[in-house]
Structure 1
Amino acid sequence: MRALIIEDEKPSARRLNRMLEVLNITPEVMLHSVQESVEYLLHHPAPDLIFLDIQLSDGLSFEIFDQVPVDSAIIFTTAYDEYALKAFKLNSIDYLLKPIDEEELKAAVDRFEARFRESEKKQFIDFNEVAKLLGNPITHNYKSRYTAKVGEHLKLFHTDAIQLFYSENKGTYLNLENGRNYLIDSKLESLMEELDPKQFFRISRQAIININAIDDMVSYTNSRIQVKINSFKELDLIVSRERVKEFRIWLER
């Protein structure tokens, strides 16, 4: 089976890629924007199956198919609300609600193989009709609160009050403006699927920062950037070299 992932959130794309490899599916490539996808599909044969996010960094993924004809079967990976999911059902479109569950992914792939691969039928989608059925602007169900256990107590923190998340000594912590750090039961990779990407950015393997908490940014060695956040001294916040370009784009969104 030839498969393709189109997903603008790179941690989500990598996670989906690993999950598919467990099912013995190795996607040809992971694409992250409308423009990148159009360029690829214009110069390569259409795959059997596309795992498609709806909202990409430079527009709706529907715009891809306005520019290049593709007759691949499509499984949507989406964070839409229940109303939008009903719209997908009306058009007989398979979908996976983020964060993607392994069993649901396997079931969707099994449905594809049963309906399309074995019968050699293709799935034709009226994207204009889907967009019309959605009706409302795109909404994502990002997490707005996290909990941390302190002794016998459970503390609740709103994401607006969290300056950053960071990992240290195999643990993941959240940091508050008052300088306090709290251990949480999450990994940075899973956090990136839960947090609003307009507010939070993963600058390195060790840290995810809140744009509203940035005090200063300073040029650093090897074309990197050092970010300074009030009262945080646990580690140096350095934007990885390979993430600097994306970081600059994120700052101006």
Structure 2
Amino acid sequence: MTTIIIEDEKPAARLLQRKLQKLNVEVGVMLHSVEESIAWFSNNAHPDLIFLDIQLSDGLSFEIFEKIEIRSAVIFTTAYDEYALRAFKLNSIDYLLKPIDEEDLEVSVAKFKARLPKQNMVQMDFDQIKRMLSNPFDKNHKKRFTVKIGQHLKVIAIDEIECFFSENKGTYIHTFDNRNYLIESTLEVLEQELDPEKFFRVSRKFIIALRSIKEILIHSNSRLKVILPSYAEDEIIVSREKVSDFKTWIG
């Protein structure tokens, strides 16, 4: 089968390519923007399967389908939370939440192969999708969180937060005064709610505040280690595929 990846973060695209190779799926082409993808599809035979990031550097990837009639199966690779994705998941579409788990990837590929040789045509309600997903960073960002402590409610301002972390299927706020608070959210949801200039998801487990960074150390395998003022329960490691974006974020 013919497969391509459309992903604006080149390290993430290469990582996905390596994971697919382990499943004996060869990637013919990797594209990195809406403009590049439209040009490529205009001049090449369409593949059987597309791994497609939703948010590309020059716009939403749905813009490709508005310009080109594409007859390919699509597996979205995205950081959007599962609840939002339910708004437009169709029979011909699957999705993988970033960072992509290899077992989930294997299941998605198996689903696609099980449908062969049926021809898949992507049909999407672009207006509905854009209402749900377009420009998530233009909305008002979270300014505070309310947490329950016994019979009391405590309001935590965004500037009090050093980082967010996940542990034992729970999500926690860690504040500058070295306290942890359980919240009813996920890191995936928080990524959409927080100001991306102030917060960055460095790994599957951590979202950190820019103002909380005390020190950055070179770590093994081309990764970085971040030291915060008070959090010391676990090492905060910037995953390899996020190092480039992290360096851009910190300026």
TM bin, normalised by shorter chain, reads 0.5 to 0.7
Corresponding residue of 1:174: 226
Q: Which residue of 2 aligns with 1:186?
A: 237
Provide the C-alpha distance between the structure 2 equivalents of 1:145 and 1:4, rounded to a whole number of angstroms.
26
1:138, distance to aligned residue in structure 2 (A): 3.0
Residue pair 2:7, 2:52 contacting (<8 A) in 1 also? yes
Structure 1 partner of 2:122:
124
Moved more, 5-14 or 127-136: 127-136
Task: Summarize the Cα distance change of 1:64–1:162 in structure 2 as closer, same or farther, 3 Å threshold.
Answer: same
Matched residue SS, 1:174:
strand
Identity %: 44
CA contact (8 A) 1:78 1:96 kept: yes
- Kept after mapping to 2: 8 A contact 1:49/1:72: yes
- What displacement does 1:34 show? 0.4
* Rounded Cα–Cα distance in structure 2 between residues aligned with 1:30 and 1:145: 24
For residues 196-235 of structure 1, what are the structure 2 equivalents within 5 Å? 197=245, 200-201=246-247, 210-211=250-251
Task: Summarize deviations over 1:167-200 as a string: whole Å, max 9, x none.
Answer: 25667422579xxxxx9363541444xx9x4xx3
Structure 1, unmatched stretches of 5+, are: 148-155, 178-182, 203-208, 212-253
- Could you tell me how far apart the structure 1 residues matched to 2:49 and 2:16 are? 14
The residue number in structure 2 matching 1:59 is 59
What is the CA deviation profile of residues 88-118 of structure 1, one whole-angstrom value per residue up to 9, with x for unaligned ones? Answer: 3356520001110001001001111112x23
Aligned with 2:89: secondary structure? Answer: helix
In the TM superposition, what whole-angstrom CA distance separates every residue of 1:11-69 from its partner, at most 9, and x where no partner exists?
A: 21111111001011111111110011111111110000000001100011111122222
Structure-1 residue corresponding to 2:150: none
1:162 pairs with 2:160: no
CA distance in 2, matches of 1:169, 1:30: 27
Q: Give the corresponding residue for 1:17.
A: 17
**CA–CA separation in structure 2 for the residues paired with 1:146 and 1:18:** 21
Partners of 1:45 and 1:91 in 2: CA distance: 23
Q: Is the 8 A contact 1:146 1:159 kept in 2?
A: no
Contact 1:62/1:127, CA 8 A, preserved across alignment: no
TM-score of the two chains, using structure 1 as the length reference: 0.62
- 1:164–1:2 Cα change, 3 Å: farther
TM-score if structure 2 supplies the norm length?
Answer: 0.62
Alignment of 1:74 onto 2:74: yes
The answer (yes or no) to whether the contact 1:6–1:37 under 8 Å persists in 2 is yes
Q: Distance in 2 between matches of 1:6 and 1:108?
A: 17
Q: Does 1:3 align with 2:3?
A: yes
8 Å Cα contact 2:46-2:72 kept in structure 1: yes
Verify the 8 A CA contact 1:88 1:95 in the aligned structure 2: no
| Structure 2 contact 73–92 (Cα < 8 Å) conserved | no
**Distance of aligned partners of 1:169 and 1:107 in 2 relative to their CA distance in 1, 3 Å threshold:** closer
